[in-house]
Chains A and B, each alone.
Chain A
Amino acid sequence: MKRLIPVLITSIVGTVLVFSVFFPMAETWGEDFSLFFDIIAVFAFFLGGGNLVRVHLIKVLNKKGDWKFSIVTLIAFAITLTAGLFKFGSVDIAASVTAEGTWMQTIFNNIIAPLSSTMYALLAFFVASASYRAFRAKNREATILLIAAFIILLGRTPLGMFMTGWIPEWFSIAQIPNLAVWIMNGPNLAGQRAILIGVGLGVVAMSLRLILGMDRTYLGSDHD
């Protein structure tokens, strides 16, 4: 019983959505189910928040590991949630949560924005160290990879034109920027397409298994 109902739900929802693509009369159903999905997705954010609070509360209560930092998380969470749910600083209840002058806007611009963009900016450093450490011509495959990366790196900057700009127009394919464009449109496109077709098929097959109720891994075990 505990497994049959969820499998049935998956099958029904999946089938309705598939049918709504082929049969225009079922369009409304497709729309409604998509809307249901969006609404449940918001509850998933709530679940994430709830989980976060639980994990960090347990840490603080047990004084485990970095429990002092967990207090930071809990306080930050509580303040942001209050500011957002009550729209502090907003003139009008219908205005958007991050409208000009709201607390949420301040939090977003001065905490979320610098933190998330700096986290990503760290990648610039890691890309550099990976280029140094890993781009080595160890074998034929690695060498091909290295050369392709090298040409694109050169071709995406004015340096490429500077180095090979003297090559005459009729042989302009040998100019590095042009070569870079050609690699993107030729071999890269082919490789991406081969992967895309394969992965696309995998997604289709997986979806099919789920809708037909043949794959229940996502439900976990019977006892929890």
Chain B
Amino acid sequence: MEFSYFPGCTLKTKARDLDETARLAAEALGVTLRELPEWQCCGAVYPMSREEIAVRLSSVRALMAARDEGRPLLTLCSACHHVMKRVNHDMQTDEGLRTKANNYLQPDKPYAGETRVVHYLEMLRDEVGFGEVARKVTSPFKGVKIAAYYGCMLLRPSAVMRFDNPENPSVMEDFISAIGAAPVRFPYRNECCGGYVALDDRGAARKASRRVTRAAAQHGAEALITACPLCLYNLKENGGGEVPVHYFTEFLAAALGLKTLEGGLARAS
């Protein structure tokens, strides 16, 4: 199994843990990640207004590069995944944008959304299979109660993302079960943490993230996992320390016996 890999800017700096554990785990699971030779920031925010063309171009370049390599494009950060999938969808469905982007980039072969964009979790679910993940687990997190935080960008808008049931997703819970832990479902796992305004409106960010961490703690979660560096930052920084937050890949790498969980688990026992 080979994928073109788009790490994104944060995974090269502040979210090195996410990148590193993901690569280790992929290798152990027999998945080869080939980082795109040259990539640029995806823009971090999907340009919702239809006429913004320039900010879509870097994503189109990455998508096109993956197409030329003949592989699906794998992403990890929720924001990158969101932007890539939506821009790809635009390229498939919006003729105006497609024409403009191709006119601008002048590629040898025009791009029309041929690349399949796959999130790391989708790869685990659909390509590797959680059964296989479970078989490879050497140090299961037996009895540990873990809550999954999906956030906004992986799930919505579901008509484009087609990631999971947007209101009752299960891929991360299935992942938690696969590493031997007990998934905790809580109602705010798909509500916004407010990370988007964490820089300039800390009050709003705090309010939104506390709602998430508190609900997770109330439902008995011992840890919260996420796929998104911004969510992780915000839930840690503004979530009031109700529950420890980790990348899901940290747990994966630990369960596969590749790298111990940073900070361990502060368990009551």
Do chains A and B interact in one complex? Answer: no
Which residues in A have some Cβ–Cβ distance to B below 8 Å?
none
